[in-house]
Amino acid sequence: MNLLKECEGVKTIGISAHIRPDGDAIGSTMALYLYLKKAVPNAEVKLFLETPPDCFGHLKYLNEIDSTYEWEGDFDVFFALDAASDRLGKAEDFFKNAKKKINIDHHISNASGCGDVNVVMPKAGSTAEVLFGLMEESYLDEDIAVALYTGIIHDTGVFQYSNTSPETMQIGAKLIGYGFNFSKIIEESFYQKTYLQNQILGRALMESIRFMDGRCIVSCIDKKMMEFYNVVPSDLDGIVNQLRNIKGVHCAIFMYEIGLMEYKVSMRSDEKVNVSKVASYFGGGGHVRAAGCTMKGTFHDVINNLSLHIAAQLEEEEACTTES
Ligand code: AMP
Ligand code: MN
Ligand code: MN
C-alpha cells in the first residue's frame, strides 16, 4: 500500500486506534497524524482518541487529539490503527461510514483486516513499526520519530519481548538518529510509575493467587479498590507483566472490574501458552504472548473458564515434550 497515493486529492482524513489506548495506539496514530498533515497539506486531518495517560506527556501536539469525537459528515479516508474496527469505540461509526477504510495493524487476531485496504503484519512488534515501513523518509522529522519510537518501545517492552526483530532494532536505530533524548522517554514513559500506581501494583502482587502448580497466576482489582487508591484503568498497566515475571509462571492473568460482574482481562505468557487463542475464544484477541478480552461473571467464573483453556494448552505442550 502506498499511503500518500491512498490519500491523493482527498479533503478529509480521520485517524483512530483502540479504546483504552496504549503506547502503540497513541504513538502510531500521532505519528500518522503528523505525517499526513505534512505530506497531504490540502486535507483536513483529524485524530480521535481517548485522552492519553500522563506518561505520554513527552509527545508534542497531544492537545490536537479530539477526545470529544464530535464530527459531522463522512470522512474521505479513515484509518483504524492497532485494532480492528470493533475496538475503535466512539470512532467505529466514522470508520464504517468512511468512503475509504484503511486498517493498519499487527494483531494476529485481526489477520485479515477490517478495511477496504489492509496492512496487517502479525510478525511486526508494533503498529508503529508497520507504519514506519509505509512512510516516505523524506517527510519524517523528530516529532514523528518520537511518536513512532514511543509506539515501538511500549509494544516491545523496550526491545525485549520476542516480537522484537532485527528490523525493529534497525528502525529503532534510524529513529534515535533524529537526536531526541530516548533514555528520558524510556524512563519516564515506560518504567516510571507514580506512587499510587506502585501501591496498587503492590496490592495486586500481595493478593495474587498461584494455581496449576504455580504455572499460572491471577490477580484481580475490583472497583472499590480502584476507588480506594484513586486510580484509573491506565494506572494498572504493567501489573500483568510483573505477574508474568515470576519464576515458574507460564501464564499470568490480571483482571479488573469494569462493570457489574464484568472484567477486563489481560493475559501474558511464555512459549508454552498461546493467549491470543484463549482471548479470541472469549471474544477478545491480541498476540500469542499478550492478549486480552472482556468477560462476564464472578471472579471465580472467569478464572474457571480461562483456566480450562490454559490447562488444555499446557497439558498438550507437556505431552509433546514428554514424547520428544
Ligand atoms: P492488554 O492486556 O489490554 O494490554 O492487551 C494485550 C494485547 O491484546 C494488546 O495488543 C491489545 O491490543 C490486545 N487486546 C486486548 N484486549 C483485546 C480485545 N478485546 N480484542 C482484541 N485485542 C485485544
Ligand atoms: Mn495497542
Ligand atoms: Mn500494538
Specify the residue for cell string 476507588.
Answer: 227
Q: Which residues lie below 8 Å from residue 129, measured CB to CB, with a gap of 6+?
A: 106, 148, 151, 152, 167, 168, 171
Report the nearest atom of ligand 1 relative to the CA of 20: 3
- Pocket-testing residue among 107, 237, 258, ligand 1, by greatest number of atoms within 8 A of Cβ: 107
Alpha carbon nearest to ligand 1 atom 12, residue: 286
Give 294-312 as a DSSP string.
Answer: EEES-HHHHHHHHHHHHHH
What does the pLDDT read at residue 319? 85
- Pocket-testing residue among 106, 293, 295, ligand 1, by greatest number of atoms within 8 A of Cβ: 293
Query: In angstroms, rounded to a whole number, what is the distance separating the alpha carbons of residues 3 and 60?
Result: 23
Evaluate whether 255 touches 218 at the Cβ level (below 8 Å): yes
Going along the chain from its start, the domains and CATH numbers come out as 3-191 (3.90.1640.10), 195-323 (3.10.310.30)
Give the distance between the most distant pair of CA atoms in the chain: 63
Evaluate whether 108 touches 85 at the Cβ level (below 8 Å): no
Distance (angstroms) between ligand 1 centre and the Cα of 156 equals 14
Query: In angstroms, rounded to a whole number, what is the distance separating the alpha carbons of residues 95 and 136?
Result: 25
Give 132-187 as a DSSP string.
Answer: HHHS-GGG--HHHHHHHHHHHHHHHTTTTSTT--HHHHHHHHHHHTT---HHHHII
Q: Is 284 near ligand 1, meaning CB less than 6 Å away?
A: yes
Alpha carbon nearest to ligand 1 atom 13, residue: 286
What does the pLDDT read at residue 321? 74
Report the nearest atom of ligand 1 relative to the CA of 265: 2
Q: Which among 69, 105, 61 is positioned nearest to 85, based on CA atoms? A: 105
Mean pLDDT by 10 residues, the chain (324 residues): 97 98 98 98 98 97 98 97 98 98 97 97 98 98 98 97 96 98 98 97 98 97 97 96 96 97 97 96 96 97 97 89 67
Q: CA-CA distances (angstroms) from residue 2 to 69, 98, 131?
A: 27, 18, 11
Phi then psi for 295, rounded to 5 degrees?
A: -130, 150
